[in-house]
Amino acid sequence: MELLDKIKTRQTLVGIIGLGYVGLPLVIRFCEVGFPVLGFDTDPRKVERLNRGESYIKHIPAAGLAPLVSPAAGPPRFTATSDLGRLGEPDVLIICVPTPLTANREPDLRYVENTTRAIAATLRPGQLISLESTTYPGTTEELMLPILSGRYRVGEDFFLVFSPEREDPGNPTHHVQTIPKVVGGVTPACLEHGVALYSQVVERVVPVSSTRAAELTKLLENIYRAVNIALVNELKLLCLKMGMDLFEVIEAAKTKPFGFQAFYPGPGLGGHCIPIDPFYLTWKARQYDQPTRFIELAGEINTNMPHFVVGRVAEALNEHGKPLKGSRILILGVAYKKDVDDNRESPGVKIIDLLKQRGARVSYHDPHIPHCTGMRHYPELDMKSAPLTAETLHKQDCVVLVTDHSAFDYAWIAREAPLIVDTRGAFRGLEGEHIFPA
């Protein structure tokens, strides 16, 4: 049976490489519609837990995984492995590996390249390969295709597409099934196979003319957000100096039924996409001698926000007659966004590091992240979440709200904490000269 027919009848074995915040929801969705799935991850601890039906991601409950691993009847729908020698088994391979930046803010594609080389070692006719990791325009054709084309012809023997992930961890409204899927193929046959695959699991597939168009689509989505967040962060700095409440202004502006979308200021960008993706395009643009000043300015503003927050903490302490050095400071929230258990690229971690550099005695509380350790930029970081009690708050010289989790009782914190620096506007409306916006 041809691959296209196997996809349409859901008889293909789907291989998903990278079983994290992007890969694991894909596993569940493909299994839900009847595909058998073989998951790949280089972390043997993750593989072991998944094969027991356990989830290590808070918003993906084990109840959704366990029936796939140990069904009441029949063989497992999902198995995880760390053996990349099995990459030749699936008919479809979906790559969901990290694409971070180097220390010089240049694309770090070693995970994509290493994965592609592993696939090439076992590549066989009749396989479809889809890259979902965010990257610069040209990656699929310029990096992956030459590695895969040694023995076989793309569009005839094997098929290669790019389809950017659009996961929003913790979003209760939008899921894999309901988020439209953009797909670009190296050849028309590649595109046909990619559209056929994703049409089985999502309600709407959006084909584009090339893999480069699909790659740039994802960058545009995240650059749009980064630029608008930079805009409101810059307005926040101005409003603080003018004695105005930017949150009030945003709420008023968003009553306009057209031409405006609300974005909110904060302590800086976090997560695996928005702080990183714009720099993938600025790097690529330099190859064409084309400056991207607007994007780079937004990155500069957002990158500087943790430094601004630390400056506001110093100002707030100074007004209370205390120096930053030696002060006890509690950070509320180290997750990169509200109500998730993910602290990748979190501004909270950067703020902790900056405060420690200036001699502060820092602790944190986050109901979603009990242990904060082992981050790429902060390899020595090893902290446990402090209990959020009245006694803990009373001991602090300053409490800094970084992530506005729903679990926090803001009125109670405002009563118990001696000094608060609020980066999210969560304490608006609560009385007290001890509350400083930042």
Of residues 402 and 75, more confidently modeled: 402
Q: Summarize pLDDT for 16-52 with one digit per residue, the tens.
A: 999 999 999 999 999 999 999 999 999 999 999 999 9
Contact 382, 373 (CB under 8 A): yes
pLDDT band for position 368 (50/70/90)? Answer: very high
Residues 188 and 296 in one domain: no
**Mean pLDDT value across residues 124-136:** 97
Rounded-to-integer distance, Cα 392 and Cα 182, Å: 48
User: What is Dmax (Cα atoms) for the chain?
Assistant: 77
Residue 404 pLDDT > 80, yes or no? Answer: yes
Q: Does 382 fall in a domain?
A: yes
Residues 265 and 406 in one domain: yes
Residues 64 and 196 in one domain: yes
CATH number at 367 reads 3.40.50.720
Residue 244 pLDDT > 80, yes or no? Answer: yes
pLDDT band for position 381 (50/70/90)? Answer: confident
**What percent of the chain is helix, strand and coil (3-state, nearest 5)?**
40, 15, 45
Residues 205 and 310 in one domain: no
Q: Does 220 fall in a domain?
A: no
pLDDT at 361: 98
**Mean pLDDT value across residues 401-428:** 97
Q: Does 143 fall in a domain?
A: yes
**Mean pLDDT value across residues 306-320:** 97
Rounded-to-integer distance, Cα 21 and Cα 41, Å: 12
Rounded (10°) CA dihedral 240, 243, 331, 388: -160
pLDDT band for position 324 (50/70/90)? Answer: very high
pLDDT at 374: 65
pLDDT band for position 169 (50/70/90)? Answer: confident
Residues 269 and 301 in one domain: yes
Choosing from 209, 239, 258, the residue where a domain stops is 209
Residue 325 pLDDT > 90, yes or no? Answer: yes
Residue 13 pLDDT > 80, yes or no? Answer: yes
Number of compact structural domains in the chain? 2
Q: Does 98 fall in a domain?
A: yes
Q: Does 217 fall in a domain?
A: no
> pLDDT above 90 covers what percent of the chain?
85
Rounded-to-integer distance, Cα 437 and Cα 266, Å: 10
pLDDT band for position 329 (50/70/90)? Answer: very high
pLDDT band for position 73 (50/70/90)? Answer: confident
Its domain, for residue 32, covers: 3-209
Rounded-to-integer distance, Cα 293 and Cα 299, Å: 10
Segment holding 8, helix H or strand E: helix 3-8
Residue 5 pLDDT > 70, yes or no? Answer: yes
**Mean pLDDT value across residues 127-148:** 98
Residues 191 and 260 in one domain: no
Choosing from 174, 209, 244, the residue where a domain stops is 209
Average pLDDT across the chain, whole number: 94
**Mean pLDDT value across residues 160-178:** 89
Rounded-to-integer distance, Cα 9 and Cα 44, Å: 32
pLDDT band for position 273 (50/70/90)? Answer: confident
CB atoms within 10 A of CB 321: 6
Choosing from 184, 209, 234, the residue where a domain stops is 209
3-state secondary structure (DSSP) of residue 63: helix
Residues 246 and 197 in one domain: no
Give the residue numbers marked as catalytic: 273
Residues 281 and 429 in one domain: yes
Closest by alpha carbon to 251, among 227, 232, 275?
232
Residues 198 and 67 in one domain: yes
pLDDT at 373: 83
Q: Summarize pLDDT for 42-58 with one digit per residue, the tens.
A: 999 999 999 999 988 88
pLDDT at 389: 97
Residues 195 and 295 in one domain: no
Residues 67 and 96 in one domain: yes
Kindly write down the DSSP assignment for every residue of 101-167, as one continuous string.
Answer: B-TTS-B--HHHHHHHHHHHHH--TTEEEEE-S---TTHIIIIIHHHHTTTS-BTTTEEEEE-----
Q: Summarize pLDDT for 182-196 with one digit per residue, the tens.
A: 999 999 999 999 999
pLDDT at 411: 96
Residues 20 and 126 in one domain: yes
Of residues 366 and 168, more confidently modeled: 366
Residue partners of 2: CB distance under 8 A and separation at least 6: 126
Q: Summarize pLDDT for 245-272 with one digit per residue, the tens.
A: 999 999 999 999 999 999 999 999 888 7
